[in-house]
Every structure is written in C-alpha cells, then in structure tokens.
Structure 1
Amino acid sequence: MEEKTFGNEFKELRIQTGLSQVDLGKILEIPRNTIRDWELEKRVPPTYVQRLLLKELNRIKNKIKKS
C-alpha cells in the first residue's frame, strides 16, 4: 500500500476527476510541470497550499460527478 503523501493524494484525486495534468493545470492556472513534480514527489507545496489544492480538487470532483 502506498504511503498517503500529498503527491499520491493529489494524483489520485486528479485521476478521479478524469482530468489530465494539462487540463487541471489550465483550470488551476498552474504549469503542468509543477503538477507533474508534485505527483512524482519531486516538489511539495507548503502545507497550507496543499490543503487548498486538495479542497479545490475535491470540489472539482464533486462538480463533475453532478454533471
């Protein structure tokens, strides 16, 4: 079982939304390379940014489910 890291959780949520890294980057106005680096654990945003990003990804996921 994979360790529950920000990168793993972020990637899992992104996949659940059905969005590519490029599409999510456009929505969040974040470069695709940054998203890739987070998912690969090469970079980690500050904790407060992690919380905001995960909250926003959950919001997007729920919005897509309702569509």
Structure 2
Amino acid sequence: METADKIRELRERTGMTRKDFAMHIGIPLRTVEDWEAGRRRPPEYIPRLISYQLRYEELMKKMEEETNAGKE
C-alpha cells in the first residue's frame, strides 16, 4: 500500500475531515493534504506512529467505557 493511501485510510477510519485529523495528530493541514495527494511523502515511521496513536486512543476509550459501565 502506498504511503498516501495508508494516511488516507487511517484518516477515513477515524471519520474525521482532513482538517480535524490534522489538528488531532498535530500535523499542519497542508502537510496532510500533500501526503494524501502524493505530492509529499512522510518519513516511513509516520504512518506507523499515527496508527499506534489511533489504536492507543481506541484502547483507552474502550477501557474508560468498561470502567464507567462497572460503576453503574
């Protein structure tokens, strides 16, 4: 999978717009747009790092939901 496709797939999985996604991961909007369009290529570790961040956030959300469900 091309880097541009991987970045787009990660963003689309979140359901975020490019602007929201860029703000969420702390990358300038123009950079995210350029990555997705294939005009620029991020370092190899960036898609992996974003993926780890999103998975971590999913895990933390799930743990929080389980904790809150246990309190009821």
Shared fold, TM over 0.5: yes
Give the helix-richer structure, 1 or 2.
Answer: 2
TM-score relative to the length of structure 1: 0.71
Which structure would you say has the larger Rg? 2
TM-score calculated relative to the size of structure 2: 0.67
Q: Which runs of 5+ in 1 are unaligned?
A: none
* Root mean square deviation of aligned Cα: 2.1
Retained in 1: the 8 A contact 2:22–2:28? yes
Q: Which amino acid counterpart does residue 3 of structure 2 have in structure 1?
A: F
Choose between structure 1 and 2 for higher RCO, CA contacts under 8 A separated by at least 6 residues: 1
Matched, 1:29 2:26: yes
1:38 to 2:35 alignment:
yes
The gaps in structure 2 that reach 5 residues or longer are 66-72
User: Partners of 1:55 and 1:19 in 2: how far apart?
Assistant: 17
Q: Is 1:12 the equivalent of 2:30?
A: no
Identical columns (%): 34
